């Protein structure tokens, strides 16, 4: 009888220990890795999310910037991290949509097999902006100007193979325009080039361009999402305009953990993200920046990423952009 009682007591203690270990997560600060320099759209949203997520988890979230190779360096670092829930990636349409089609030889990570999806965070429209130094106030006028001066108009981007680069290439292809792509080291520099007239147009992230649009330093001509943006209700969606039917680009951010992260930890993180995204202050901040707060289950995010990888592989092939 004593042996049976001892065995039952030991089993109960083991169960309590396992439950307690899970309930204690997180016991230390969590790193949220961003693949871009401080001050960019992804960094701004990650820091805002980190504060709200930290409150939900009652733990510190440390945003760590690992810029380079369009987010590939950060993604590779997170894939190699311990799968314990203490290292997360602020994934983007570049890291888990576009880059796998561009960096066939030097990607450095497995976008599907190397990660465990946690949840969606935000969708981020791009906005077609023109320099106020050119007499263009609509997409139609921009197209007419570009057709009258083949090869004379530059469009700036945040780098080769970036969503901004692809958006411009798709725009030129769909309208049969001869535009010159000029890559810069980041979205802020690309926007500055348009403001100064060094470039005549760009497809900027809405959060990155919003303040300059409001200050009339950039002229917003169209957004790239299927519907108009609530932040720029008078600016048409590009797909509304004749000749650009079906044009749609929506960049996004999501949280991923290294492959092998325990399901219980992933569920805790997903619930914390959902709690954070319900915060009125966070939602208002995202919307003020031009980002649309969103969410998902891990399973929904996995299916979404599969779809993005397939979609962007076709786009990259159609515009014939190569990086390596």
Query: What is the per-residue DSSP string for 41-108?
Result: HHHHHHHHHHHHHHHHHTS-EEEEE---GGGHHHHHHHHTS-SSSSEEEEEETIIIIIHHHH-TTT--
Using only C-alpha atoms, the chain has a radius of gyration, in whole angstroms, of 22
Residue 136 shares a structural domain with residue 187: yes
180 in any annotated domain? yes
Q: Is residue 10 part of a domain?
A: no
More confident residue, 224 or 24: 224
Q: Are residues 97 and 153 in the same domain?
A: no
Point out the domain boundary residue: 240, 263, 295: 240
Would you state the pLDDT for residue 183?
92
- Asked whether residue 6 is assigned to any structural domain, the reply reads no
Residues 107 and 152 in one domain: no
83 lies in some domain: yes
* Domain finish residue from 240, 268, 288: 240
59/164 same-domain check? no
Q: Quick check: 240 pLDDT over 50?
A: yes
pLDDT above 80 (res 11) = no
Q: What is the CATH number of the domain that holds 102?
A: 3.40.190.150
Instruction: Convert the pLDDT of each residue in 279-303 to its tens digit.
Output: 999 999 998 878 889 999 999 999 9
Total domains present in the chain: 2
Tell me which of 116 and 184 has the higher pLDDT: 116
Strand-pairing partners, residue 204, are 127
Residues 228, 138, single domain; the answer is: yes
Does the pLDDT value for residue 24 go beyond 90?
A: no
Closest to 139 measured CA to CA, from 101, 96, 99, 171: 171
In terms of residue numbers, what domain contains 188? 126-240
Say whether both 102 and 130 belong to one domain.
no
Top-confidence residue, 12 or 163:
163
Across 75-79, 197-201, 226-230, least confident range: 226-230
- In degrees, rounded to 5, the angle at the alpha carbon of residue 219 between the alpha carbons of residues 217 and 225 is 130
Give the CA angle between residues 250, 255, 261 to the nearest 5°: 145
Residue at a domain's end among 182, 211, 240: 240
Do 67 and 147 lie in a common domain?
no
Instruction: Check which CATH number belongs to the domain holding 163 and give it.
Output: 3.40.190.10
Q: How confident is the model over 41-94, as pLDDT tens digits?
A: 899 899 999 999 999 999 999 999 998 888 999 999 999 999 999 999 999 999
CB 16 within 8 A of CB 46: no
- Report how far apart, in Å, the C-alpha atoms of 40 and of each of 99, 158, 212 are: 18, 10, 14
Task: Give yes or no: residues 257 and 293 share one domain.
Answer: yes
CA atoms within 13 A on the CB side of 130: 18
| Percent share of the chain, pLDDT over 70 | 93
The verdict on residue 188 lying in a domain is yes
Residue 281 forms part of a structural domain:
yes
In a domain, 19, yes or no: no
pTM of the model: 0.85
For residues 116 and 135, state if they share a domain. Answer: no
pLDDT class of 23 with cuts at 50, 70, 90: low
CB half-sphere exposure, 293, CA atoms < 13 A:
22
Whether the pLDDT of residue 19 is over 70: the answer is no
**Which pLDDT score is estimated for 218?**
97
Mean pLDDT on 148-177: 94
Same domain flag for 164 and 111: no
* Same domain for 236 and 141: yes
When the pLDDT of each residue in the chain is averaged and rounded to a whole number, the result is 91
**Residues 305 and 294 placed together within one structural domain of the fold:** yes
C-alpha distances in angstroms, 83 versus 56, 86, 256? 21, 8, 11
Asked if residue 42 belongs to a domain, the reply is yes
């Amino acid at each position: 009888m004593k042996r049976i009682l001892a065995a039952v007591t030991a089993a109960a203690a083991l169960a309590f220990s396992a439950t307690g270990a899970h309930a204690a997560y997180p016991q230390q600060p969590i790193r949220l890795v961003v693949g871009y320099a401080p001050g960019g759209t992804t960094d701004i949203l990650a820091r805002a999310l980190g504060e709200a997520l930290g409150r939900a988890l009652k733990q510190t979230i440390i945003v760590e910037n690992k810029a380079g190779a369009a987010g590939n360096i950060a993604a590779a670092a997170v894939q190699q991290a311990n799968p314990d829930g203490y290292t997360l990636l602020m994934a983007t349409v570049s890291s888990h949509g576009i880059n796998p089609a561009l960096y066939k030889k030097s990607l450095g990570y497995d976008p599907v097999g190397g990660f465990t999806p946690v949840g969606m965070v935000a969708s981020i429209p791009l906005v077609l902006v023109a320099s106020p130094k050119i007499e263009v106030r609509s997409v139609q006028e921009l197209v007419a100007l570009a057709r009258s001066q083949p090869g004379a108009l530059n469009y700036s981007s945040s780098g080769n193979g970036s969503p901004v680069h692809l958006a411009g290439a798709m725009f030129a292809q769909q309208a049969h325009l001869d535009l010159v792509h000029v890559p810069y080291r980041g979205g802020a520099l690309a926007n500055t080039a348009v403001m100064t007239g060094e470039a005549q147009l760009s497809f900027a992230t809405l959060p990155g361009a919003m303040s300059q649009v409001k200050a009339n330093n950039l002229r917003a001509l169209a957004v790239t999402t299927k519907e108009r943006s609530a932040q720029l209700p008078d600016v048409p969606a590009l797909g509304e305009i004749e000749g650009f039917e079906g044009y749609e680009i929506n960049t996004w951010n999501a949280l991923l953990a290294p492959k092998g992260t325990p399901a219980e930890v992933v569920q805790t993180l997903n619930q914390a993200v959902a709690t954070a995204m319900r915060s009125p202050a966070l939602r208002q901040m995202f919307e003020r920046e031009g980002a649309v707060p969103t969410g998902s289950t891990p399973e929904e995010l996995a299916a979404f990423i599969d779809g993005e990888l397939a979609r962007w592989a076709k786009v990259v092939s159609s515009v014939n952009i190569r990086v390596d």
